[in-house]
Structure 1
Amino acid sequence: MDSLVLRMLAFSVLILALAIWGTVLAIRRVSRKQPFGVSGWGVVVFWCLVGLSVFSGPRKLLNQTADQQAASDASRDQIKKTMEAGVAAKHGGELPKTMSPDDLKIAMAVGAKAADQQGKSSAAEKLKSMKTRPDPADVKYSPDVVQMAVKQQLRDPDSATFGPMSLYSDRKMNDYYTPVVCGTINSKNDFGGYSGNKAFVFLIPLTAVMIEGSPNQQQAQLFVKTYNQLCAGAHD
């Protein structure tokens, strides 16, 4: 069973136990003709709060699950509506006042599917936009992110020294404009000596790095092809 469902059940049991305990105390005071008192009114307020949580609970749970699935406010609202429709379909078209564990499972399954479809749609839109040459002013990158990505592929990341980095967005790879950061890196090898400057390519759309000099022949050839396509020579 999902951990969120287990937490819901545990919290519900605790609330019910406290409610029963408070109600028993209030009934005993009334039966003994004792003043209702602050504790009695506390029980009344408590039950009112429980009532509010019962009526608002389903939508709060759907909101929380949608937040976990969505990356933006627009996608969050769409996922929430899809989840509500999925749960309501089980109950004759109306959202229930209380959410059962089965309802929550349905909501999470529907939300996950909707998020996956949105991801595919977003990827398709991104590819479509890459058919058009981007405005250089709209292409940005973080040198820290690039350096961190390059260092993750080094044997001795702490020894890394970077040369100048250049941002290019005027060339295509596989018919798509692919903004890149091109630069050089020097770091220590297995023998403790510096191996010399090596070129690298950071592909911004993929947040991926390729470094010159791979021992794998296929990767080495792919680097040369990518570097020549996106970095080498004069740029517009």
Structure 2
Amino acid sequence: MLIKGMIVKKLLLVGIACLPLTGCFGEYSEAINYGESQIKQSLKDPDSAKFNDVWFSPDANNGKPKISGYVCGRVNAKNAFGGYVGEAPFFIYVGQLDSDFFSGAPGIIQSDDEKSMKRFEQFCKR
């Protein structure tokens, strides 16, 4: 009985410790979902999109509209021939006023595009 009580206490403490982490992701989860949907729309085969390592990077205006920043990550999708092209970094500006989201142009970076990669590094801070 004593061991069972200790296990329950440990699980409870771990759960409480994780709450701040889920709160941060939850705050931007709608913005991330909206950004992913905008990236999908720019692809040849939107339904094939596989996202990896996606995060929201608030910019200096965050909080002035309700949310302001960049959804960043990596995406892999099929090309016109039906084959996956490999993961590529992406970023897209996402803002929210009231309950409406809006976005800038999506940026999916090709491996030899140094200019876009510099923009990715500039906008996509963790």
Classify the TM-score, shorter chain.
Answer: 0.5 to 0.7
Unaligned runs of 5+ in 1: 1-135, 173-177
- The equivalences for 1:1-236 within 5 A come to 140-142=28-30, 143-169=32-58, 179-205=69-95, 207-208=103-104, 209-213=106-110, 220-231=113-124, 235=126
State the distance in 1 between where 2:93 and 2:119 align: 10
Moved over 6 A (4+): none
User: Which structure carries more relative contact order (alpha carbon 8 Å, separation 6+)?
Assistant: 2
- Corresponding residue number in structure 2 for 1:63: none
- Corresponding residue number in structure 2 for 1:94: none
Over aligned residues, Cα RMSD in angstroms?
A: 3.0
Contact between 1:159 and 1:187, CA under 8 Å: does it hold in 2? yes
State the distance in 2 between where 1:201 and 1:141 align: 15
- Shift of the 194–148 alpha-carbon distance from structure 1 to 2, 3 Å rule, reads same
SS at match of 1:164: strand
State the distance in 2 between where 1:221 and 1:152 align: 24
Identity of paired residues, percent? 31
Contact between 2:76 and 2:86, CA under 8 Å: does it hold in 1? yes
Length, aligned pairs only: 88
Question: TM-score if structure 2 supplies the norm length?
Answer: 0.56
State the distance in 1 between where 2:122 and 2:86 align: 23
Unaligned runs of 5+ in 2: 1-23, 62-67, 96-101
Considering fraction of residues, name the structure with more strand. Answer: 2
Cα drift, residue 141 of structure 1: 5.0
Cα drift, residue 191 of structure 1: 2.3
Letter in 1 for 2:28: K
Considering fraction of residues, name the structure with more helix. Answer: 1
